[in-house]
């Protein structure tokens, strides 16, 4: 199966009943972009731009950012790149943007909150992204959004950057859905976004009040509470829905997410070929009723039992 997946990695992923699902890559470096291209990614669905900002004494200049974003786009042969604005906070402090100690960094000034609290750093990143968008297809995505007001402010700053860049033909604007409040209110964001991308790592953490990476807890993105939020986003957001958390690379989850209405799965580069193969093995006619049942089950273990191979794959 891995051999067949590799051989077909460059082809689009289409379900057995003809629905195309874009299989994208999550990147944290220029090297990752090369790996994504080699593994047949349709686009970069999440560029974690933190790698440019951490472990240094000053923020990267606009020119430095432009050069790196351009290298990523070039490595991907001009396929669309989704640049997520800086997602740092109390747990990943920046030397040049000092922040007070926080008791609960995951509930603190992180993601878009951090960017809005440091407008000079944010404005430079927006300008760099707007410049790159003049020459290659770019999507911009804001992390850790919890209120509409944050998006309104960020878009106003982005419009300013676009004005300074001159134009930004192919720029699409989206938000990450990783806070339950944003999932519950996804319709309220529709006027301000072209797409949304569900970050299941954080959405699971915040929904289940289970710190990610805490080995004593075993929060699972297939928990019906998380699935119901994803279903709600697909029903109400009115824009294309992607998933870019770990769950997107979970083969058991692929048919279910697709059946809920997700049309882009963004995963680590090496996972792209097998996720594409899982999409090809999915028949929505079968996966749809299973997804509905999954949302009503007791817990993630019950969902995993339901999703055993054979139940959802056409073979
Ligand atoms: C997520 O939270 O699911 C996500 C993709 O973002 P990160 O893992 O970078 O927090
Ligand atoms: Mg996240």
What per-residue confidence (pLDDT) applies to 311?
A: 64
Tokens at 66, concatenated: 């432009």
Each residue's pLDDT tens digit, 88-106: 986 788 989 888 889 999 9
Kindly give the number of the ligand 1 atom that is closest to the alpha carbon of 26.
Answer: 5
What per-residue confidence (pLDDT) applies to 150?
A: 98
What per-residue confidence (pLDDT) applies to 310?
A: 65
Q: What percent of the chain has pLDDT over 90?
A: 90
Better-predicted residue by pLDDT, 65 or 307: 65
Contact assessment for residue 232 and residue 296, using Cβ atoms and an 8 Å cutoff: no
**Separation CA 79–CA 137 (nearest Å):** 7
> How confident is residue 166, by pLDDT bands cut at 50, 70 and 90?
very high
**Separation CA 126–CA 158 (nearest Å):** 6
**Separation CA 139–CA 173 (nearest Å):** 6
Q: Spell out which residues have Cβ within 5 A of ligand 2, the ion.
A: 178, 199, 202
Segment 208-231 shows an average pLDDT of 95
What per-residue confidence (pLDDT) applies to 250?
A: 97
Phi, psi of 173 (to 5 degrees): -120, 130
Task: Verify whether ligand 1 is closer than 6 Å to residue 204 (CB atom).
Answer: no
Task: Verify whether ligand 1 is closer than 6 Å to residue 245 (CB atom).
Answer: yes
Q: Where are the alpha helices (DSSP H) in 76-179?
A: 112-117, 119-132, 148-165
What per-residue confidence (pLDDT) applies to 312?
A: 58
What per-residue confidence (pLDDT) applies to 69?
A: 98
Segment 53-62 shows an average pLDDT of 96
- Give the length of the chain: 315
Q: What is the mean pLDDT of the chain?
A: 95
Task: Verify whether ligand 1 is closer than 6 Å to residue 230 (CB atom).
Answer: no
CA of 183 to the centre of ligand 1 (A): 15
User: 181 pLDDT exceeds 60?
Assistant: yes
Each residue's pLDDT tens digit, 5-42: 999 999 999 999 999 999 999 999 999 999 999 999 99
Contacts of 133 (CB under 8 A, 6+ apart): 140, 165, 168, 169, 170, 171
> How confident is residue 315, by pLDDT bands cut at 50, 70 and 90?
very low
Task: Verify whether ligand 1 is closer than 6 Å to residue 48 (CB atom).
Answer: yes
Tokens at 193, concatenated: 């976004």
Q: Look up tokens 């200049």; give the residue.
A: 61
User: 199 pLDDT exceeds 60?
Assistant: yes
Burial call 151-177: b when 16+ CB within 10 Å, e when fewer: bebbbebbeebbeebeebeebbbbbbb
What per-residue confidence (pLDDT) applies to 139?
A: 98
What per-residue confidence (pLDDT) applies to 100?
A: 86
What per-residue confidence (pLDDT) applies to 124?
A: 98
Task: Verify whether ligand 1 is closer than 6 Å to residue 178 (CB atom).
Answer: yes
What per-residue confidence (pLDDT) applies to 98?
A: 82
Nearest-CA residue for atom 9 of ligand 1 = 48
Segment 183-191 shows an average pLDDT of 98
Segment 189-211 shows an average pLDDT of 97
Q: Look up tokens 């951490």; give the residue.
A: 54
110: alpha, beta or left? (left if phi > 0; alpha if psi -120 to 50):
beta
């Amino acid at each position: 199966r891995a051999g067949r997946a590799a051989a077909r990695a460059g082809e689009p992923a289409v379900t057995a009943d003809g629905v195309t699902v874009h299989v994208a890559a999550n990147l944290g470096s220029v090297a990752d972009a090369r790996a994504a291209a080699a593994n047949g990614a349709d686009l970069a669905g999440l560029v974690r731009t933190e790698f440019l900002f951490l472990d240094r004494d000053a923020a990267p200049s606009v020119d430095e950012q432009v050069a790196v974003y351009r290298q990523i786009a070039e490595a991907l042969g001009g396929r669309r790149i989704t640049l997520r604005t800086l997602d740092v906070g109390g747990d990943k402090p920046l030397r040049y943007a000092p922040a007070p100690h926080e008791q609960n960094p995951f509930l603190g000034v992180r993601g878009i909150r951090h960017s809005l609290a440091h407008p000079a750093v944010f404005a430079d990143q927006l300008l760099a992204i707007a410049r790159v968008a003049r020459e290659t297809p770019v999507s911009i995505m804001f992390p850790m959004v919890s209120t509409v007001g944050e998006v309104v402010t960020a878009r106003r700053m982005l419009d300013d950057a676009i004005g300074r860049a001159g134009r930004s033909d192919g720029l699409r604007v989206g938000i990450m859905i990783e806070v339950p409040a944003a999932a519950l209110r996804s319709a309220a964001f529709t006027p301000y976004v072209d797409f949304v991308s569900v970050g299941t790592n954080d959405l699971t953490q915040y929904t289940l009040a289970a710190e990610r990476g805490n080995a004593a807890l075993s929060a699972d993105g297939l928990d019906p509470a998380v699935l119901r939020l994803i279903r709600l986003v697909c029903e109400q957001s009115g824009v294309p829905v992607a998933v870019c958390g770990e769950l997107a690379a979970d083969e058991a989850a692929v048919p279910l997410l697709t059946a809920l209405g997700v049309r882009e799965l963004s995963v680590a580069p090496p996972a792209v070929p097998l996720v594409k193969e899982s999409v090809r093995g999915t028949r929505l006619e079968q996966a749809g009723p299973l997804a509905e049942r999954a949302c009503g089950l007791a817990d993630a273990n019950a969902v995993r039992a339901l999703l055993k191979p054979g139940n959802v794959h056409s073979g």
